[in-house]
Structure 1
């Protein structure tokens, strides 16, 4: 059974993204690090022991990667949208059986597994091939080697209350998520336009809704 590992906020720059999150949630994300070879870097916000928020942006210290940056960050329409303000762009799901899922679905659907690490953390990740992810509504899959990153982050008090995915072909999206063990983790409904909706709730009762469109 898979579960939501983290949600992803895209930004033109990390500085802009950090200001946006602080204004929205009242807390600033902490420094993460660079993703060598991917052309991105991030900041993180803890949301309990098993979930967090990732702020991601192109890394000006890295050369342009030989392949598109993850989460469609090089897509012209998304870049234009992020110039207006940072926004929710994707999510990542954790599975204890990454090899089995990728073997069953095949690399044409699940992508190829990549080894990644930073400091004491290491993980393996499979990104669905671009244009096979139904507008980022089918998530990359991650399997942590040891403890998950969320356990090492200061708790912000915010929790992911629900994650919803809207798409014109809700039946196909629901089937793809079920194939990845996410039938109960993501609420799927039909809509003329693809959209990801994350509802956050703070322990003091505050609620915030993040959307990709």
Structure 2
């Protein structure tokens, strides 16, 4: 069974992304690191032992990667949107059986598995090919080597309390999520426009809603 590993905030720069999170949640994300060869770097905000927020942006210290940056960060329309303000753009799901899921779904749907590292952390991910990710509503799958990253990130006191996906073809989204073991993890409903919605609650009871559109 898969579960939500983290939600992703896209930003034009990490400084802008960190400032956005601090103003919204009252807590500054901590330093993450670069993703060599991917063209991105990140900052992190812990939400308990099993979930966190990733703030991600193109890394100016790296050359352009040979393939598109993840989460549509090279997409012209998203880049224009991020010029106005950082925003929720995606989420990632953790599975203990990445190879089995990718073998069952096939790489044309689940994507190719990539091995990645940063510092003492190592993991493997499979990103759904574009047009298979249903506007980033179908998440990449990650399998950590050893403990999940969330266990090593300072807890901010915030928690992810719900994740919702809206799409014109809600049946297809629900089917794809169920095939990845996420049928109960994301609430899906039909809507004219694709949208991802994340609900957060702070230790003081304050609630915040993040949306991709």
TM-score range, shorter chain: over 0.9
Kindly state the Cα deviation for residue 131 of structure 1 after the two structures are TM-superposed: 2.0
Q: Is 1:46 the equivalent of 2:46?
A: yes
Aligned to 2:14: 14
Aligned to 1:82: 82
Q: Is 1:96 the equivalent of 2:122?
A: no
Alignment gaps of 5+ in structure 2: none
TM-score between the two structures when normalised by the length of structure 2: 0.99
TM-score between the two structures when normalised by the length of structure 1: 0.99
Structure 2 counterparts to residues 1-213 of structure 1, below 5 A: 1-213=1-213
CA distance in 1, matches of 2:169, 2:152: 38
CA distance in 2, matches of 1:174, 1:197: 15
Kindly state the Cα deviation for residue 100 of structure 1 after the two structures are TM-superposed: 0.3
Taking only aligned residues, the RMSD between alpha carbons, in angstroms, comes to 0.5
CA distance in 1, matches of 2:38, 2:130: 14
CA distance in 2, matches of 1:157, 1:65: 35
CA shift digits 1:81-105 (9 cap, x unpaired):
0000000000000000000000000
CA distance in 2, matches of 1:125, 1:31: 21
Kindly state the Cα deviation for residue 66 of structure 1 after the two structures are TM-superposed: 1.1
SS of the residue corresponding to residue 45 of structure 2 reads: strand
CA shift digits 1:24-78 (9 cap, x unpaired):
0000000000011110000000000000000000000000111110000000000
SS of the residue corresponding to residue 50 of structure 1 reads: coil
SS of the residue corresponding to residue 122 of structure 2 reads: strand
The count of corresponding residues between Structure 1 and Structure 2 is: 213
CA distance in 2, matches of 1:83, 1:19: 14
